């Protein structure tokens, strides 16, 4: 018996149980309440007086009635079958909701997104939706909150799920890591890097001739660097020997044109090399999120990339320009601040410290920086002493530094952050 029929049968039995209990109470009300209540609530009586029904104790019955998840949809498939008996690949649906939407991934038995096919899904009461770009991902926005049933339409050469998947569309966004974010992360081999990675330093325009380019080592502060793919291959043993104490590593970015999520190609190499060399490590992500939903996506991506590493420094959202034509370049200060808050709250919900990186001018003119004071602030300001008046824990004081083990210019920082 499938789960739907089983649920219906149990409900029918419960209805009969309730009716019998009422009848027994009524018939035996003059004979005493104890006799009436002696009828077991886990049985039912048919017309001939025979007892039938599930063998449930009172405690089991109460647990059943109080189980809020009993009628929830079946759990996400475990992808235990890659092919059916005929040798056709098995397909599965993974569906989630962030806020008044459904995000659908079509995956195979290995849990990998299947691309290159024109998949169709049907949403009860809404209609049919097509995977137009054949990337195995279908996004359905502008839905009312509530339950929906999603079915994958048959496609030649594959076996699709027989039963629809029930998805609960959320009314409000939750600052929590998205379970299926790994399906949405791309590598640079899958994108046009020239169009997507257009990050520009907003601190350069505010630089002065008093900018330090040497290694600063004030009391009660640590000296460090931040790196990305632009530094190329790094000899981390030489970096550590040069006196660098910490590094903030770019783990990825959102494309400034398409909005795709992209992992930095040097991230794994950099974080493993830095950890092996004994440096304290944090990470940053260059945002192009245009709303809170996208900020939660970005934070979820960072958490998924870092889950196998111990971080000493916070996870930072890097908010600056993308050449003037970036998808987030035109945001107003309030929206950009909401993006930073959503990112940081999501990161903190996963147990990490969260922070914001921006230049002094960006904090003053493109953000409502007083609202971000509960997070770790990292300010970029290239002059002898920062003019930024807010409370900050890290100061990036130049982008023109040099460190043994790195063959390019590198950003230099001092940190007052208390590493636990």
Structural domain boundaries of the chain?
A: 3-66, 92-169, 181-415
Q: Which residues are paired to 127 by β-bridges?
A: 123
Residue pair 201/409 in contact (Cβ under 8 Å)? The answer is: no
pLDDT of residue 33: 38
For 242-351, where are the alpha helices, taking DSSP H only? 267-276, 292-306, 333-349
pLDDT of residue 75: 52
CA distances from 171 to 47, 97, 147, 334, 414 (A): 48, 9, 11, 22, 43
Q: Splitting the chain (420 residues) into consecutive groups of 10 residues, what average pLDDT does each group show?
A: 48 57 49 38 34 44 48 52 84 95 94 95 96 96 97 96 96 96 97 95 79 94 98 99 99 98 99 99 99 98 98 98 93 99 99 98 97 98 96 97 98 95
Residues in the chain: 420
* Cα(355)–Cα(317) distance, integer angstroms: 6
Indicate the CATH number for domain 181-415. 3.20.20.80
pLDDT of residue 17: 63
Architecture of domain 92-169: Sandwich (2.60)
Helices 292-306, 333-349: axis angle to 10 degrees equals: 30
């Amino acid at each position: 018996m499938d789960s739907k029929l089983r649920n219906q049968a149990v409900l029918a039995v419960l209805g009969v149980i309730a009716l019998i209990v009422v009848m027994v109470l009524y018939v035996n009300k003059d004979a005493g309440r104890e006799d009436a209540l002696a009828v077991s609530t886990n049985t039912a009586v048919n017309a001939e007086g025979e007892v039938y029904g599930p063998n449930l104790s009172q405690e089991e019955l109460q647990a059943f009635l109080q189980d809020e998840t009993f009628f929830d949809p079946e759990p996400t498939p475990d992808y235990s079958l890659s092919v059916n008996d005929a040798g056709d690949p098995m397909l599965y649906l993974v569906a989630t909701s962030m806020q008044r939407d459904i995000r659908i991934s079509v995956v195979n038995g290995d849990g990998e997104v299947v691309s290159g096919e024109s998949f169709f899904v049907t949403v009860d009461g809404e209609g049919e939706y097509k995977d137009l770009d054949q990337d195995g991902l279908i996004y359905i926005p502008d839905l009312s909150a509530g339950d929906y049933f999603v079915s994958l339409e048959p496609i030649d050469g594959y076996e699709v799920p027989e039963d629809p998947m029930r998805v609960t569309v959320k009314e409000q966004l939750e600052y929590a890591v998205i379970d299926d974010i790994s399906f949405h992360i791309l590598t640079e081999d899958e994108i046009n890097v020239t169009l997507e990675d257009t990050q520009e330093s907003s601190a350069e325009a505010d630089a002065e001739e008093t900018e330090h380019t040497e290694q600063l080592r004030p009391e009660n502060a640590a000296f460090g660097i931040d790196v990305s793919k632009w530094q190329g291959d790094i000899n981390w043993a030489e970096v550590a020997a040069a006196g660098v104490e910490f590094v903030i590593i770019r783990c990825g970015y959102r494309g400034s044109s398409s909005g795709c999520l992209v992992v930095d190609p040097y991230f794994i190499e950099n974080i493993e090399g830095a950890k092996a060399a004994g440096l304290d490590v944090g990470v940053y992500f260059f945002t192009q999120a245009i709303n809170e939903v996208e900020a939660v996506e970005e934070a979820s991506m960072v958490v998924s990339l870092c889950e196998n590493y111990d971080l000493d420094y916070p996870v930072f959202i890097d908010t600056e320009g993308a050449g003037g034509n970036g998808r987030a370049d035109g945001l107003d200060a309030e929206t950009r601040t909401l993006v930073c808050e959503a990112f940081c709250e999501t990161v903190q919900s996963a147990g990490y410290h969260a922070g914001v990186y921006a230049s002094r001018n960006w904090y003053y003119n493109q953000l409502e920086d007083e609202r971000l004071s509960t997070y770790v602030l990292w300010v970029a300001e290239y002059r002898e002493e920062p003019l930024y008046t807010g409370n900050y824990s890290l100061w990036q004081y130049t982008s023109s530094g040099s460190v043994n083990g790195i063959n390019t210019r590198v950003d230099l920082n001092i940190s007052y952050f208390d590493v636990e």
